[in-house]
Amino acid sequence: MKFRYKLMMGMLITLCFSFGIGGILLIYYSFQYSMDTITSNCMQNYNNVQNTIKIAGQTADGNYDDIFESVLSQMNDKKSTIWKYIKLVDVKTGELIYSNSSEDISKDVSTEVEDAIVTEYSWKDGETYYYQITGDISICLLDSDTVIKKLSICIVYDITQVYDFRNSELSIYRNIMIALLIFGIALAFLFSFWLTKSMEQLSKVVRKIAKGDIKSRAVISSGDEIEMLSNDINVMADTIESDMEKLKESVEKQEFFMAGFAHEMKTPMTSIIGYSDLIRSHNLDVEEMKESANYIFRESKRLEALSLKMLELVVMNKDEASLKVSNPADVINDVTRMIKVGIQKKNITLKVSLENGKVLLDRDLFQSMLNNLIDNAIKSIDGAGEIHVTGRKKDGEYIIQIRDNGRGMSEEELGKITEAFYRVDKSRSRLQGGAGLGLAICKKIAEIHHTELAYESQPGEGTKVTITMREYRKQGGRE
């Protein structure tokens, strides 16, 4: 069953229960009040008749029965008489003194009563409801306690009107209840439809998202918890969409990475296979053999370097590094000392200016990043040139800059240089043994050290790379 119908049924059950119980209690208390009122009036009437008979007996000078009969007859003839049946009996003789009807409709209540004590009794006969009051009357002489006559008076009242009124109330209540239920069903359906409309809309959006339409959003302004839930689902959908975009971008990068890697391996493998087949299938002289072997060796070394770069990049993706307090100037000096030996024949000058400092770093990874950055600076210089490496402290940070006066890059190329296998000059990079992985590795190493590489470059003027690292503080640690 839909929640809409459950809500409607709940509202109807609540309406029926509350209105039903309330109506029944109201009719019950109304009937009880009417019953108490009419029985009170009957008892008051009975007491008036009883007192009238006592007074008539005390003032009579004999012929009591005639006097009693006359008094009751006069009272019965009045239009204000409210009883249905009345009779007066002599208790001692059992003689009927007066009765307003030949048909005795009273009930024999066999209960012994004392003077001034009455018995009340009610019953139903067909469609008529009766209420009977029975009691004894002692007639005494005036100014005396001597009992001269003891009488029993029985009065029966017709109280059907009270029950008819109750039945009328029940009938009216039943009609009102039916009308109210019809109105309540319509109102409950409209109210439940209005309440669940937002939920139905929300459900449609969730189903669309589940089917892959992650751009679907719920627009609900109900000002209640459903709107809050809608906003939460929209936030969740935004997060899913963002994650999906990142995942899609990651998959595209991986596909590009694998395509680039396969392309990079194709050229050296083709050379190795070709020269190997040449040596295997032809009789070469010593020079030709040596030249073929050199090609195979060079391409094999290129494959080895490419494999090492790939392995290094995969290891970097694990984000596993042990950062320790180190002096970056010592690490830079170690790297530049080895590089100076290799660039002397290239007519490139390497200038180093460093200040001591303390930062958290992984020495091996940091050396690898510096090697790649300086190696790229060397490869960007055609002929003679200069490379400046500086390290200085400023405002709680240690700033490393590597600047060259090489070819430089355009702004468009700067945005792509950290992508795997991207090369600014593909033919030149291949001749220099580059695979386009160096700066991708540098970017990952910088992330592990909680920093990033800032590149500035102009075509024909050179490139500057800036690494900004937080200085280590002994008391507070790294901020």
pLDDT digits (tens, 9 = 90+) for 354-399: 999 999 988 877 887 888 888 888 888 887 889 999 999 999 999 9
* pTM of this structure: 0.46
Instruction: Say yes or no to pLDDT of 422 above 70.
Output: no
Residue 326 confidence class, pLDDT cut points 50, 70, 90: very high
* 209-251 tens-digit pLDDT: 888 887 888 787 777 777 788 888 888 888 888 888 888 877 8
pLDDT of residue 47: 92
Between 333 and 474, residue with greater pLDDT: 333
- How is residue 250 written in tokens? 């990651």
* Reported confidence tier of residue 119, pLDDT bands at 50, 70, 90: confident
* 17-45 confidence digits (pLDDT tens): 888 888 889 999 999 999 999 999 999 99
Structure tokens at 131: 């209420």
Task: Enumerate domains of the chain plus CATH numbers.
Answer: 3-166 (3.30.450.20), 214-318 (1.10.287.130), 321-470 (3.30.565.10)
Return the HEC string of the chain: CCHHHHHHHHHHHHHHHHHHHHHHHHHHHHHHHHHHHHHHHHHHHHHHHHHHHHHHHHHCCCCHHHHHHHHHHHHHHCCCCCEEEEEEEECCCCCEEEECCCCCCCCCCCCCCCCCCEEEEEEEECCEEEEEEEEEEEEECCCCCCEEEEEEEEEEEECHHHHHHHHHHHHHHHHHHHHHHHHHHHHHHHHHHHHHHHHHHHHHHHHHHHCCCCCCCCCCCCCCHHHHHHHHHHHHHHHHHHHHHHHHHHHHHHHHHHHHHHHHHHHHHHHHHHHHHHHHHCCCCHHHHHHHHHHHHHHHHHHHHHHHHHHHHHHHCCCCCCCEEECHHHHHHHHHHHHHHHHHHHCEEEEEEECCCCEEECHHHHHHHHHHHHHHHHHCCCCCEEEEEEEEEECCEEEEEEEECCCCCCHHHHCCCCCCCCCCCHHHHHHCCCCCCHHHHHHHHHHHCCCCEEEEEECCCEEEEEEEEECCCCCCCCC
Confidence at residue 188, expressed as pLDDT on a 0 to 100 scale: 81
Lowest mean pLDDT among 11-20, 25-34, 107-116, 459-468: 107-116
Q: What is the pLDDT of residues 74-105, one digit of tens each?
A: 988 887 778 999 999 998 888 999 999 889 89
Check whether 305 has a pLDDT greater than 70.
Answer: no
pLDDT greater than 80 at residue 138: yes
Which tokens belong to 249? 């971008």
d(CA 392, CA 449): 18
Q: What are 338-351's pLDDT values in tens digits?
A: 777 667 677 888 99
Once rounded to an integer, what is the mean pLDDT over residues 12-18?
A: 82
Of the ranges 18-27, 183-192, 419-428, which one carries the lowest mean pLDDT score? 419-428
- Calculate the average pLDDT of the chain: 81
